[in-house]
Amino acid sequence: MSTKALDSAVLVLNRHYLAVHMVSCRRAMILLYKEHAEVVQVSGTRYDSHGFAAWVKRSGGTYSEQLDERERTEDWIFTVTYPVRVPRIIRLLRYDRYTRRKVPMSRRTIFARDNYSCQYCGVRRPTAELTLDHVVPRFLGGRECWENVVTACSKCNHRKGMRSVEESGMRLLHTPRAPEMNPLLEHNLQDHRYESWRTFLS
């Protein structure tokens, strides 16, 4: 089974088609299987809904000679009995509230907010080479919040050391702010496979 596919992001709509949050494909499949949600498929200006069984059927249903090709993409989940296409959007059938969750602050969301680039020198790096920097260090009373934590390359982080931005004589390229929308969600929009999300995020 492709773990990558199961970890891919699925946009969640409430009953009234308003985007409320984002879950992993793994979680989405459980919601679909339990009939708490349906798949929403966008084609042009219209969208269709499919329950779990219909979605499986639509996915092709059986293994075929095209499997090799499918395996090369992240877009399929390989269950014991049949391959299932990864859904991109699901709609909760009973949830009609509209409460956007507070964006969780984590390494992943901070890096995504900062576009995976150092906020001091602007260099863009893979996540493994990025670090988090407290604008005002914690021991000087700096808080663990969106406004005080930024992405830094290890070189800049080392250069700044235990000093505040002012003390280090360095400058932030942007003022760090709490994002209104989950930056991982915005990051996904740059991937053509998540194109259909735009319909519900504008």
Establish if 32 lies at the interface with Zn ion (CB under 5 A): no
Here's the x/- map for Zn ion, 156-185, by CB under 5 A: it reads as x-----------------------------
Report the residue from 89, 92, 153, 185 that binds Zn ion according to the rule CB under 5 A.
153
> What's the distance, Cα to Cα, between the start and end of the chain in Å?
34
Establish if 120 lies at the interface with Zn ion (CB under 5 A): yes
Distance of alpha carbon 86 from alpha carbon 130, whole angstroms: 30
The CB-of-134 to Zn ion minimum distance in angstroms stands at 15
The CB-of-157 to Zn ion minimum distance in angstroms stands at 8
Distance of alpha carbon 114 from alpha carbon 150, whole angstroms: 7
Distance of alpha carbon 88 from alpha carbon 76, whole angstroms: 11
Instruction: Please tell me whether residue 195 adopts helix, strand or coil conformation.
Output: helix
Report the residue from 118, 149, 184, 185 that binds Zn ion according to the rule CB under 5 A.
118
Cβ-contact 174, 117 below 8 angstroms: no
Q: Which one, 112 or 118, has the nearer CB to Zn ion?
A: 118
State the residues that interact with Zn ion by CB under 5 A: 118, 120-121, 153, 156
